[in-house]
Amino acid sequence: MLESGILQVIIIGVLIALALFVAVAKDLIVAALALGAFSLLLALEFFILQAPDVAIAEAGVGAALTTAIYILGIRATRRM
Protein backbone atom coordinates (compact mmCIF):
# COMPACT_ATOMS: atom_id res chain seq x y z
CA MET A 1 0.00 0.00 0.00
CA LEU A 2 2.78 2.41 0.89
CA GLU A 3 4.68 1.69 -2.32
CA SER A 4 1.58 2.54 -4.33
CA GLY A 5 1.30 5.93 -2.64
CA ILE A 6 4.96 6.72 -3.27
CA LEU A 7 4.58 5.66 -6.90
CA GLN A 8 1.53 7.91 -7.28
CA VAL A 9 3.44 10.90 -5.90
CA ILE A 10 6.32 10.24 -8.29
CA ILE A 11 3.96 9.90 -11.27
CA ILE A 12 2.13 13.12 -10.36
CA GLY A 13 5.46 14.93 -10.05
CA VAL A 14 6.53 13.71 -13.47
CA LEU A 15 3.11 14.66 -14.90
CA ILE A 16 3.54 18.22 -13.61
CA ALA A 17 7.06 18.40 -15.04
CA LEU A 18 5.85 17.10 -18.43
CA ALA A 19 2.98 19.58 -18.49
CA LEU A 20 5.38 22.46 -17.85
CA PHE A 21 7.75 21.11 -20.51
CA VAL A 22 4.93 20.92 -23.07
CA ALA A 23 4.00 24.53 -22.28
CA VAL A 24 7.53 25.90 -22.79
CA ALA A 25 8.83 23.62 -25.56
CA LYS A 26 9.94 25.50 -28.67
CA ASP A 27 9.78 22.53 -31.05
CA LEU A 28 6.23 21.36 -31.73
CA ILE A 29 7.23 17.76 -32.47
CA VAL A 30 9.00 17.52 -29.11
CA ALA A 31 5.95 19.06 -27.41
CA ALA A 32 3.64 16.54 -29.10
CA LEU A 33 5.84 13.63 -28.01
CA ALA A 34 5.94 14.97 -24.46
CA LEU A 35 2.16 15.25 -24.53
CA GLY A 36 2.00 11.59 -25.59
CA ALA A 37 4.25 10.65 -22.67
CA PHE A 38 1.98 12.70 -20.40
CA SER A 39 -1.06 10.75 -21.61
CA LEU A 40 0.73 7.44 -21.14
CA LEU A 41 1.66 8.29 -17.55
CA LEU A 42 -1.89 9.47 -16.94
CA ALA A 43 -3.13 6.09 -18.17
CA LEU A 44 -0.76 4.43 -15.70
CA GLU A 45 -2.16 6.60 -12.91
CA PHE A 46 -5.71 5.58 -13.85
CA PHE A 47 -4.63 1.92 -13.74
CA ILE A 48 -3.13 2.39 -10.28
CA LEU A 49 -6.40 3.99 -9.17
CA GLN A 50 -8.16 0.76 -10.27
CA ALA A 51 -9.89 2.19 -13.32
CA PRO A 52 -8.56 -0.10 -16.07
CA ASP A 53 -11.27 0.79 -18.59
CA VAL A 54 -10.40 4.48 -18.35
CA ALA A 55 -6.69 3.61 -18.50
CA ILE A 56 -7.11 1.63 -21.70
CA ALA A 57 -9.14 4.42 -23.31
CA GLU A 58 -6.56 7.04 -22.27
CA ALA A 59 -3.68 4.94 -23.56
CA GLY A 60 -5.38 4.20 -26.86
CA VAL A 61 -6.89 7.57 -27.62
CA GLY A 62 -4.76 10.01 -25.63
CA ALA A 63 -1.31 8.52 -25.94
CA ALA A 64 -1.51 6.84 -29.34
CA LEU A 65 -4.13 8.35 -31.59
CA THR A 66 -3.99 11.98 -30.52
CA THR A 67 -0.20 12.06 -30.56
CA ALA A 68 -0.14 10.55 -34.05
CA ILE A 69 -2.67 13.12 -35.31
CA TYR A 70 -0.66 15.99 -33.79
CA ILE A 71 2.58 14.77 -35.35
CA LEU A 72 0.99 14.27 -38.76
CA GLY A 73 -0.55 17.74 -38.58
CA ILE A 74 2.73 19.36 -37.55
CA ARG A 75 4.65 17.55 -40.30
CA ALA A 76 2.16 18.80 -42.88
CA THR A 77 3.08 22.43 -42.11
CA ARG A 78 6.22 24.38 -42.92
CA ARG A 79 8.74 25.08 -40.20
CA MET A 80 9.88 28.64 -39.59
Asked which of 1-5, 7-11, 29-33, 69-73 is least confident by mean pLDDT, the reply is 1-5
How far, in Å, CA of 67 to CA of 47, rounded? 20
Sequence-distant (6+) residues with CB within 8 A of 37 are 18, 63
Q: Is residue 10 part of a domain?
A: yes
**Structural domain of residue 20, as residue ranges?**
2-75
Q: Is residue 54 part of a domain?
A: yes
Per the structure, the count of domains in the chain is 1
Task: Assess contact for 45 and 11: CB atoms under 8 A.
Answer: yes
13-63 residue pLDDT tens: 999 999 999 999 999 999 999 999 999 999 999 999 999 999 999 999 989
User: Predicted confidence band at 1 (pLDDT cuts at 50, 70, 90)?
Assistant: low
Task: Assess contact for 57 and 73: CB atoms under 8 A.
Answer: no
Q: Is residue 80 part of a domain?
A: no
